[in-house]
Amino acid sequence: MKISWEGSISEAIKQARRVGGFSLLLDVEVRNREEAEEAIEAGADVIMLDNMEGEELFNVAADLKEKWKGKRKFLFESSGNITEDNLQERVHNCVSSLKCS
């Protein structure tokens, strides 16, 4: 089920959990580090880093994994502007695995 929400990411997650319960897997699309941080803090399961590329993508993923290590469990997903030419650079340990190399 896809739900669109305008406003607070935290409030959207709270409402989704209220409706869907604890077993709901929440995938939240974010545009920047601040939104990613809010989604993680609010308990999102998957953080979709939309239209982030290169160093920004890797730095955000690495920094947030380190900051939240042992505190919250979540996954990152990279989306937007993905082409056959840049697909390989998107498959990077900081984005696709639990540890950064």
* pLDDT at residue 45 tops 90: yes
| pTM of the predicted protein model | 0.78
Q: Residue 98: which residues within 8 A CB-CB, separation 6 or more?
A: 65
Pairwise CA distance, residues 24 & 1, whole Å: 10
| pLDDT at residue 88, rounded to an integer | 66
Q: How confident is the model at residue 54 (pLDDT cuts 50, 70, 90)?
A: confident
Nearest to residue 74, comparing CAs of 56, 35, 48? Answer: 48
Question: Which of 37-41, 46-50, 69-73, 97-101 is least confident?
Answer: 97-101
What CATH topology corresponds to 9-96?
TIM Barrel (3.20.20)
